[in-house]
Copies of this chain bind each other. A is one copy, B any other.
């Protein structure tokens, strides 16, 4: 199957424009990756040092924090955009460590409900507070009045990528 750019272009661009657009796209991707890697690495390091915790574990707790009555286990992979198999050992350990409970549903024995414990909620709130402060510290030098603009651009970018993924 032919590559998209070689089949009929929506707006016929000349070679130079095409090249320029390729470069711009690559640059966006590399900057995006660099920013994310930089921030993620620092957050991970601090989670580890301060709380002996990991971000994937924190992400699970963050989802459950908004669900007082718990969540169907199968909702987690969807919300967190990770594979189901990935979550199994993470949930296992959160249960082991007493942050959450996992109880089989009586109506459908395939289904399990995960729910934060009181201690889990307490620990989460403590960590979430630090997480916010760390983020504020890392982003402190970025002009506050340009956050909204950047959020808008990123939202649009995300939408564009999602649309592109929908197509085929």
Contact = CB atoms under 8 A, between A and B. Distances in A.
Nearest to A31: B154
Count this chain's copies in the assembly: 2
Interface string A131-155: 0110111111110101111110111
Contact of A24 (B4, B148, B161): B148
B150 A164 contact: no
A146 B153 contact: yes
Given A27-B151, A144-B21, A144-B24, A165 B136 contact: no
Given A39-B29, A153-B149, A154-B35, A160 B136 contact: no
Residue from A34, A40, A133 with most neighbouring chain B CB atoms (10 Å): A34
A22 interface: yes
A81 B4 CA distance: 32
Interface residues of A, number: 55
Interface string A14-46: 000000011011111101111111111110000
Contact of A130 (B3, B22, B38): B3
Interface of A: 3-5, 21-22, 24-29, 31-42, 81, 130, 132-133, 135-142, 144, 146-151, 153-165
